[in-house]
């Protein structure tokens, strides 16, 4: 569904991504794990074309590296950005409707809205509240809900666990799993929290200083010595 080949990103003189290669099949959850500054966020920003990159990004057999960000959204390749970035001065419902900005199928939009409320009942209790008044976990739910309102075919999540309590992280990753299993939504998950990411995903890629070090089934990676040492804090 998505095939990234030899992806390079430069920030001035800094070579942030040094020829990344990976791919995602339809219906999969894959994860990119790696530490701070490894290039995970740059990868997602390059795919959504928020930053310039060199190399090939093929989505549903179409080269999308030259397309504008909003065109990519129109192709249902949706990103939940790092740090949630919800619209704090808009109400919860307005935030969700922004996700559906490009859609014209009003009945389906309403249906999806109800789906999001069912998935995250806490948002339903707060529809008229400003986004900025929500707790961190609720904001993350809102960010994911907003992305679901874009009717994604491939959903990219950038560190959904960031700054959240373990119990909330659990809840959010449960929801990600549920969306994937019920609707067959393809998910690209970028995480520093390798443990929960590998428990959720089918396959994983380990990324370090802008390169993919190795890849494998999530279960195998969870027990891989290199991963355990580097990312799970075990000796």
The packing angle between helices 166-183 and 136-148, to 10°, is 10
CB of 83 to another protein, least distance (A): 8
| Residue placing its CB nearer to another protein in the complex, 78 or 119 | 78
User: Which span (5-13, 92-100, 204-212, 214-222) binds another protein, by CB under 8 A?
Assistant: 92-100
**190: which strand partners?**
32, 158
Q: Does 70 bind another protein (CB under 8 A)?
A: yes
| 29: CB partners within 8 A, 6+ apart | 176, 177, 180, 186, 187, 189, 200, 201, 202
Residue from 48, 53, 180, 193 touching another protein (CB under 8 A): that is: 48
Stretch that binds another protein, among 14-22, 35-43, 56-64, 132-140 (CB under 8 A): 132-140
**Toward another protein, which CB reaches closer, 27 or 136?**
136
How many of the chain's residues bind another protein (CB under 8 A)?
29
Our finding on whether 60 is near another protein (CB under 8 A) is no
- State both tokens at 146: 């907003």
Give the dihedral sign, CA 66/68/74/76.
positive
Q: Which stretch binds another protein (CB under 8 A): 23-31, 35-43, 95-103, 178-186?
A: 95-103
Q: Among the candidate windows 54-62, 107-115, 134-142, 224-232, which touches another protein by CB under 8 A?
A: 134-142
Of 65, 23, 44, 48, the residue nearest 159 (C-alpha): 44
Per-residue DSSP letter, 52: -
Per CB under 8 A, 150 contacts another protein: yes
Q: For the beta carbon of residue 111, count every other beta carbon within 10 angstroms.
A: 10
Looking at beta carbons only, is 98 or 213 nearer to another protein?
A: 98
Measure Cα distances from 150 to 34, 123, 136 in Å.
28, 17, 22
Footprint of another protein (CB under 8 A): 48, 50, 68-70, 73-74, 78-79, 81, 85, 87-90, 94, 97-99, 101-102, 132, 134-136, 139, 146, 150, 163
């Amino acid at each position: 569904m998505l095939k990234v080949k030899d992806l390079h990103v430069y920030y001035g003189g800094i070579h942030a991504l040094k020829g990344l290669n990976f791919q995602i099949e339809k219906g999969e959850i894959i994860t990119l794990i790696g530490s701070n500054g490894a290039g995970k966020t740059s990868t997602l920003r390059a795919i959504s074309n928020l930053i310039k990159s060199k190399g090939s990004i093929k989505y549903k057999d179409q080269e999308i590296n030259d397309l504008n960000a909003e065109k990519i959204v129109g192709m249902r390749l949706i990103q939940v950005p790092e740090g949630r970035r919800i619209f704090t001065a808009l109400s919860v419902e307005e935030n969700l409707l922004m996700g559906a900005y490009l859609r014209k199928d009003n009945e389906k939009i309403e249906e999806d809205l109800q789906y999001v409320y069912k998935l995250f009942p806490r948002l339903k209790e707060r529809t008229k509240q400003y986004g900025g008044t929500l707790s961190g976990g609720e904001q993350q739910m809102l960010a994911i809900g907003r992305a679901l309102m874009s009717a994604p075919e491939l959903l990219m999540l950038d560190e959904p666990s960031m700054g959240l309590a373990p119990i909330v992280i659990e809840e959010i990753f449960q929801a990600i799993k549920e969306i994937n299993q019920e609707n067959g939504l393809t998910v690209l998950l970028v995480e520093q929290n390798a443990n929960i990411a590998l428990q959720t995903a089918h396959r994983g890629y380990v990324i370090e200083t802008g390169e993919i070090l190795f890849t494998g089934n999530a279960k195998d990676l969870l027990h891989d010595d290199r991963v355990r040492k580097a990312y799970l804090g075990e000796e």
